[in-house]
A and B are shown apart, each in its own frame.
Chain A
C-alpha cells in the first residue's frame, strides 16, 4: 500500500463520464434512437456547425437513418456543404453525434509515414527502439511539443519509458508518477475509449442544454465521446505541469491498460481528427509490437523455466528424497526463481543453498507464514517488513521471499530468498506530498524530480517465477505422494514377507525338529535293544544319534536367533552379578573336572531384558569355558564398569584366542573360527550375543591373539526408566 493511494481518493470518486458539458472545440447532439428526435445539445452547436441543432440534424437525417439501418456501429458522417468532422455512436440508449470543425489548412497525408512505421514495427525491432520510434512519429504528425510513452507498473504507478519532443517542454524520461495521478475511473475510461484530446486546459466548458422536456434532463454518459469535458482536477494538473494542451492514446495489451502515449504542448494545440486517427493507428501498432514482444519473452521464459523444472525433476528422481534432490541441484533451484538463496524444511530436516537465513530463522519465518494463514500453497513478497514480518536475522539476508508450502500436515516448506535492493526511484515530484485546499485534495503542484530510496525491498518476483514455484510445488507434491505410496507398498510387502518368515520358522520349529528327534530316538532304541552289537556298530549308531542331536540343536539355536528379531524386550532392572552367578551354576556340572580360576568383579546393575541378558552371559561364559579347555589352569575374568554413556562388561580368558584378521567373522551367523572336531558348536552363539546387545542399543567387540586368549566386551547404553 502506498500512502499516496489515499490522497487522491476524492478525485477517484468523481463521476468523470457524465460531466454534463463538452470542451469548446466540439459540439454535441444527443438524439433519441427511435425517432432521431433531438434530446440535448451543447450550447455551441451554432458556433461549431454554422447552423443550429435542428438545421444540422436535418442535413444529417438521411445519413443517420442509413447508419441506424446498418447496425448503429460507431461511424463518421458527412454533412454536405458543412466543413465538419462528424462522429456518431450509440451508447446507453442515446445516439450521440460529435461535431468538430474540419482542418482548414491542407496537411500532409500521413499514410506514407504510417506505412514506413508499420514496416519498422514488423521488422526485428527492439522494444525500446519501437517505443522511441512511436513517440518520435507522433510528435512529427501531431506537432505536439513532447510525446511520452508512459507505462503502468503492477500498482498503477506510471513510468516514462520513452520520450520524443522539440525541446520546448522538460524531459520526463525515466520519471515515475504515483498511481493516484491517473485514478481508477480515468484508467477505466482510457481502457474503453482509447483517445482523448484537450486542446486548451484553460477552456471554458460548454454546457449541455435540454431540448426535450421529458428525456432531456437525464445525464448523458459520454464515455465514448472525444470532446467530453474533463475533470477540473485534471486541468489543474495540466497547468501544474506547464502544459496547456494534451492528447493521450491508450496502449492496451490483451485488454489490459499497459500504458499511454501522452502528448503535451506548452500552448493550446488542436489536432484534427485525421491526425488523431493516424496517432491512434501508431498506438495500436505499438500495442501489437509490445504484445508480441511480451508474448515472445513469456514464451522464452517459459521454455527456460521448463528446462530448469525438468532438471530439478531429474535431480529429485535421482535422489531418495525430494529435498535432497533439490539441494543437490543448487544452481538450478536458485535459477528457476532467480533467487539468491533457498531453504528446504522437511521431516528429514533443514537444508539451504545460496544465501539463506539459518534454520532457526527460517523456522520462525514459516511459523509466521502459517500463523498468519498467508501461505496456502505459494506466497510471494518483495518486502517482508511491509507484509508484517520484522525479524532482522531473516531480513538482513533476505527482504523478499517466495514460499511454497509443500504439505500442511508435515510442515514441509520450500522458500526462496532475495536480498535487499536499494533502488533509487525518481518521481515526478514528491509522491507523498498532498496539497490541501479548503477540504479538497489537489494534485502535486511541483513536478521537480524527487528521488526516493526504496529500502527493505528485494527485486520483485516476476509472475513467471511465481508460476514456476507453483509448478515446482505441484511436482514435489506429486513426488511426495508417489514416494508415500511406494513406502506404503514396501511396508505392506515387508509385513507380508515378515509374516511368511514367521510361518516359515514356525514350520521349521515343528517339522524339522521332529525327524531329528526320530533319528535320535530310534538309534537309541536300537542301541538298547541290540546288546550284542560290536564296538564299531555302536560307534556308528552313536555318530547317527550325535549328528541328529547336533542338527536338532542347530534348529533350536536358529529359532532362538530368528525369534529375537521380533520378540519385544521385557525391560526391567537387571542385576548382572546375579545373572553371571546363575550362568556359572548352570555350567557347574559340565566343568566339574576342569581347573578354572574365576575372577568375577563387581558388575554394575543395568536395565534391559533379564532373560536375554542371561543368554548373553551364558554364551560368552560358555565360550570362555569351551576355548580354555586346553588350559590348566584356565583363567576367566569377568568385569564391568561404568563408561561414558553406559556400561561396559568384559569376559577375558587365556584360551586359544583367535586371529584378529578374522575378527569381522566372529559375530556372524554360522561363522566359526575353530574346527568343529576341536570345539563343538553351531556358530550362532556370538551372533546371538550381538543381536541381543544391539536390540538393547549397545555394541559388542572382541580382541584376541592366536593362543593368547580372547577378550569379549559388550556395551549397553543407559536406557531411560519408563
Chain B
C-alpha cells in the first residue's frame, strides 16, 4: 500500500476544516489530505483541471464533501461525480450539519456512498471521522479499473 491514494476534503468553513483535519490526524491515517474550499475547486481536482491541471494523476480514495459550499454546492458536486462515467466509482461521503431529511433523500438519490450528520459532541465527531477514514481510505477496495487508473 505504498501508493496510498489521497483523501479529498471539501470544506469551506475554516473551523470545521481545522476540526476535521485534527480528527483525521488523530486517527493516524497516513493518506494525504487534499483540501478544496468550494465545489468548483473539488471538481477541478477530480477532473485535473484549473489549479489542479498539473497534479499527479489518480483518483482520491474518498471525497469527504460538505453539503453547503460556495460556488458549486455539495449536491451539485455529488451529481456531477456520480453522473460521470470516469468518476462515479469514487466513494463520496456527505459530511454535513444538516439534519434536513430532504438533503438526505436527495443525496441518496444522487448515489452518495454515506451521509454523516456532524455530531455536536466532539468525541462523537472524532469517532465518526475516524471510522470514515479507516473504512473508506484503508479498508474499502476500489473497483479494479479505478485502481489501475490510480496506479498509473
Contacts and interface: CB of A to CB of B under 8 A. Distances in A.
Interface of A: 506, 509-511, 513-518, 520-522, 524-525, 545, 548-549, 552-553, 556, 559, 563, 567
A559 B122 CA distance: 21
A524 B123 contact: yes
B120 A525 contact: no
A521 B98 CA distance: 17
A520 B100 contact: no
Given A506-B98, A510-B98, A556-B99, A521 B67 contact: no
B118 interface: yes
Nearest to B118: A517
Given A513-B120, A549-B121, A518 B98 contact: no
Contacts of A511: 97
Contacts of A524: 122-123
A516 B120 contact: yes
Interface in B116-150: 118-123, 125
Interface in B82-126: 96-101, 118-123, 125
Nearest to B68: A510
Given A514-B16, A553-B120, A509 B97 contact: yes
Contacts of A520: 120-122
Contacts of A549: 120-121
A682 to B, nearest CB: 13
Interface of B: 13, 15-16, 19, 22, 67-68, 96-101, 118-123, 125
Contact of A518 (B16, B67, B96, B119): B16
A510 B97 contact: yes
A548 B120 contact: yes
Given A518-B16, A521-B19, A522-B19, A563 B101 contact: yes
B22 A525 contact: yes
B98 A514 contact: no
Nearest to B22: A525
A510 B96 contact: yes
A525 B18 CA distance: 11
Contacts of B16: 514, 517-518
A522 B19 CA distance: 8
B109 to A, nearest CB: 18
Given A510-B67, A548-B120, A517 B99 contact: no
A548 B120 CA distance: 8
Nearest to B15: A518
A518 B19 contact: yes
19 contacts: A509-B98, A509-B99, A509-B100, A510-B67, A515-B15, A517-B118, A517-B120, A517-B125, A518-B16, A520-B120, A520-B121, A521-B15, A521-B122, A521-B125, A522-B15, A525-B22, A549-B121, A556-B99, A556-B120
SS class of chain A's interface: helix, strand, loop or mixed? helix
Contacts of B100: 506, 509
Q: Name the 10 nearest CB pairs between A and B, nearest first.
A: A552-B120, A524-B122, A521-B122, A518-B15, A521-B19, A513-B97, A510-B97, A517-B120, A514-B97, A520-B122
A700 B125 CA distance: 37
B60 to A, nearest CB: 24
A510 B68 CA distance: 8
A514 B22 contact: no
Contacts of A548: 120
A556 B13 CA distance: 20
B118 A559 contact: no
Nearest to A518: B15
Nearest to A525: B22
A93 to B, nearest CB: 90
Given A510-B96, A556-B99, A559-B99, 10 more contacts: A509-B99, A510-B97, A513-B120, A515-B15, A517-B118, A517-B120, A521-B122, A522-B15, A522-B19, A563-B101
B127 to A, nearest CB: 12
Nearest to B67: A510
B101 A514 contact: no
B97 A525 contact: no
Of B15, B19, B96, B122, most A-chain CB atoms within 10 Å: B122
B61 to A, nearest CB: 24
Contacts of B122: 517, 520-521, 524-525, 545
A559 B103 CA distance: 14
A520 B23 CA distance: 14
Contacts of A509: 97-100
A249 B91 CA distance: 108
Considering residues B16, B99, B123, which has the most beta carbons from chain A within 10 angstroms of its beta carbon?
B99
A244 B63 CA distance: 121
Contacts of B19: 517-518, 521-522, 525
Contacts of B68: 510
B25 to A, nearest CB: 11
A509 to B, nearest CB: 5
A549 B121 CA distance: 7
A498 to B, nearest CB: 14
A564 to B, nearest CB: 12
Listed residue (A515, A524, A552, A559) with the most chain B CB atoms within 10 angstroms of its CB? A524
Contacts of B119: 517
Contacts of A518: 15-16, 19
B102 to A, nearest CB: 8
Nearest to A545: B122
B125 A514 contact: no
A518 to B, nearest CB: 4
A509 B96 CA distance: 10
Nearest to B120: A552
Contacts of A522: 15, 19
B80 to A, nearest CB: 21
B19 to A, nearest CB: 5
A515 B97 CA distance: 10
A514 B122 CA distance: 12
Contacts of A516: 120
A563 B104 CA distance: 14
B140 to A, nearest CB: 26
